[in-house]
């Protein structure tokens, strides 16, 4: 499961380097995400390469979000149309902060710190 991570000032970005987040990789996604983010801060899940998300993939995103606990935020960025459609149908778009691009998500993560 290709996941990679990059560090930014106010969030860790986890990139999904695969075209599908589906039943065939959902379990691996959860494990790798937990390993990459253990003991860190807020997370932006960057999904611009993901062309397709199924209910198992969605379940795995919900699971890792819950795993972050109450004090860490997770935003989603770069959703392609088929992925956005699943988020809308399941109303998960009411749960997650969703940004068109990674830059938008990074700007939102930085905003509370602008006055510092």
DSSP per residue over 53-69, as a string?
A: E-HHHHHHHHHHHHHT-
Q: How many CB atoms are closer than 10 A to CB 38?
A: 8
Report whether 4 contacts 33 (CB < 8 A): no
- Tell me if 39 contacts other proteins by CB under 8 A: no
Least Å distance, CB 36 to other proteins, is 20
Q: Which range binds other proteins by CB under 8 A, 1-9, 32-40, 56-64, 101-109?
A: 56-64
Q: Quick check: 70 binds other proteins (CB under 8 A)?
A: yes
**Roughly what angle, to the nearest 10 degrees, separates helices 26-37 and 55-67?**
20
Q: Does 86 contact other proteins by CB under 8 A?
A: yes
Q: Which residues bind other proteins (CB under 8 A)?
A: 20, 22-24, 52, 54-56, 58-60, 62-63, 65-66, 70, 81-82, 85-86, 89-92, 94-95
């Amino acid at each position: 499961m290709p996941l990679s991570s990059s560090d930014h000032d106010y969030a860790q970005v986890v990139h999904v380097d695969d075209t599908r987040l589906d039943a065939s990789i959902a379990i691996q996604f959860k494990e790798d995400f937990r390993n990459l983010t253990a003991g860190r801060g807020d997370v932006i899940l960057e999904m611009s390469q993901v062309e397709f998300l199924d209910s198992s993939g969605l379940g795995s995103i919900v699971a890792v979000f819950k795993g972050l606990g109450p004090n860490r935020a997770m935003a989603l960025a770069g959703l392609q149309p088929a992925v956005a459609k699943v988020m809308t149908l399941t109303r998960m778009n009411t749960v997650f902060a969703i940004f068109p691009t990674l830059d938008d998500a990074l700007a939102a993560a930085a905003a509370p710190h602008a006055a510092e």
